[in-house]
């Protein structure tokens, strides 16, 4: 019964996470490790609610928004979701292009096109049912975990620094920007939509089975186990990325993906640098395919419209390839794409909390009062953090 959450988890270890966590570790050492842990806790709650929404209703979040919200608001939510999709694809395509360049010396624009092509092929596995696609994406997730995990072998990690980094500290200036980027790279708004579309029908006729307390309990346990295993694995990968960067580059300021790769080769050997590049490549390929699937879910749910996948792929890939042709710094583009994603979180999270708290929508699956209170607190905290960032940057 495992699978949907592992597809969603790929979005939590995409190239944007690599760039953001590497920059955080290099700039501030272990100081922002607590942000990574906190963001992953939020991700567990968000993805649990998302999966439960699909289980209880048999519909995805975008469709439920269209059915329950005023049409102008639905159009607004669709428009921002498309912006989020473009920011998502920018991170995946740029990350895959950088990995191909590091491994084979392929020029970045060509690497971006190759990444888009491989992601399109992975998405094509859905023609054979949900299992082949889930297995391929989960395989990529294991490659990512193994690759980045290997980089810790000789990274010079300071255990005392890691423990100290788990204590919350004030956020100002560049640290606030990176904290928001970590949040955007962890709690991905587009995957809130896609996860809710993966669970309907995934556990059989969940609506019928959930009419009894025992049936609901069995399905919720399976769904929660799926989310917990997938999110813990993704959270460990994110923590490793920051810890490795802190061990190698603490105090040296922002590091590009290329410099992290070179630093690993110099201090840990060629094997560590190759493992890093392979993990980054798997991340770009798999996350890009999940992002494209999310775009399909968003358009079909909000507008009841479908466009050819190839056309959608071309539209969302164009900005990323354009940046690579223009010569923009890949790491900077990745970090700021995550900040954009963070601003999209409330637009997905607020409807999710509202819908899962309504008995008319969820029936017996409705949230408990404590769950709704925790989810409201998360939504308010994320929105406040984003507002704080705007004020901090402007002033």
- Give the pLDDT score at 53: 92
CA distances from 44 to 39, 65, 228, 258, 331 (A): 9, 22, 7, 31, 27
Q: In this predicted model, what pLDDT tens digit does every residue of 338-370 receive, in sequence order?
A: 677 777 888 888 999 999 999 999 888 899 999
User: How far apart, in whole angstroms, are the C-alpha atoms of residue 76 and residue 70?
Assistant: 10
- Give the pLDDT score at 239: 92
User: How far apart, in whole angstroms, are the C-alpha atoms of residue 2 and residue 219?
Assistant: 11
Q: In this predicted model, what pLDDT tens digit does every residue of 56-115 receive, in sequence order?
A: 888 999 999 999 999 999 999 998 888 887 877 887 888 889 999 999 999 988 998 898
**Local structure of residue 366 (DSSP, 8 states):** P
Higher-pLDDT residue of 309 and 91 is: 91
Mean pLDDT of 300-307: 84
- Give the pLDDT score at 145: 92
Residue-by-residue DSSP string for 257-285: HHHHHHHHHHHH-HHHHHHHHHHHHHHHH
Residue 327 φ then ψ, to 5°? 95, 20
3-state secondary structure at position 253: coil
Look at 45-49, 249-253, 266-270, 278-282 and tell me which has the smallest mean pLDDT.
249-253
- Give the pLDDT score at 229: 93
- Give the pLDDT score at 187: 73
Average model confidence (pLDDT) across the chain: 84
User: How far apart, in whole angstroms, are the C-alpha atoms of residue 69 and residue 234?
Assistant: 33
pTM given for the model: 0.86
Architecture of domain 4-394: Up-down Bundle (1.20)
- Give the pLDDT score at 204: 58
Q: In this predicted model, what pLDDT tens digit does every residue of 119-155 receive, in sequence order?
A: 888 878 878 777 888 888 889 999 999 998 888 877 7
């Amino acid at each position: 019964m495992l699978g949907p959450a592992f597809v969603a988890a790929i979005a939590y270890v995409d190239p944007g996470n690599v760039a953001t966590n590497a920059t955080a570790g290099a700039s501030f050492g272990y100081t922002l490790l607590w942000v990574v842990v906190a963001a992953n806790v939020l991700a567990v709650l968000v993805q649990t609610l998302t999966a439960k929404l699909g289980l209880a209703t048999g519909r995805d979040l975008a469709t439920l928004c269209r059915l329950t919200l005023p049409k102008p608001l639905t159009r607004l939510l669709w428009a921002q979701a498309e912006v989020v999709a473009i920011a998502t694809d920018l991170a995946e395509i740029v990350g895959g292009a950088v990995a191909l360049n590091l491994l084979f010396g392929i020029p970045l624009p060509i690497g971006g096109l190759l990444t888009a092509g491989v992601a399109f092929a992975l998405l094509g596995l859905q023609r054979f049912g949900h299992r082949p696609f889930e297995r391929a994406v989960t395989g990529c997730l294991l490659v990512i975990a193994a690759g980045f995990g290997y980089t810790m072998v000789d990274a010079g990690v300071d255990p005392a620094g890691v423990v100290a980094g788990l204590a919350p500290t004030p956020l100002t200036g560049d640290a606030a920007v990176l904290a928001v980027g970590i949040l955007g790279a962890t709690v991905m708004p587009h995957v809130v939509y896609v996860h809710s579309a993966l669970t309907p029908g995934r556990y059989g006729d969940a609506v019928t089975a959930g009419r009894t307390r025992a049936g609901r309990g069995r399905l919720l346990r399976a769904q929660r186990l799926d989310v917990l295993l997938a999110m813990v694995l993704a959270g460990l990968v994110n923590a490793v990325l920051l810890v490795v960067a802190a061990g190698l580059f603490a105090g040296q300021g922002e590091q590009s993906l290329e410099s992290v790769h070179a630093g690993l080769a110099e201090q840990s050997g060629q094997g560590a640098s190759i493992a890093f590049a392979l993990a980054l490549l798997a991340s770009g390929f798999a996350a890009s395919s999940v992002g494209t699937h999310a775009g399909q879910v968003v358009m079909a749910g909000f507008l009841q419209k479908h466009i050819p996948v190839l056309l959608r792929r071309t539209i969302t890939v164009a900005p990323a390839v354009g940046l690579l042709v223009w010569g923009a710094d890949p790491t900077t583009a990745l970090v700021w794409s995550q900040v954009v994603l963070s601003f999209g979180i409330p637009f997905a999270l607020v409807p999710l909390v509202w819908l899962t708290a309504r008995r008319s929508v969820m029936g017996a699956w409705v949230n408990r009062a404590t769950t709704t209170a925790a989810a409201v607190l998360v939504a308010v905290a994320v929105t406040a953090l984003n507002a704080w960032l705007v004020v901090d940057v402007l002033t």
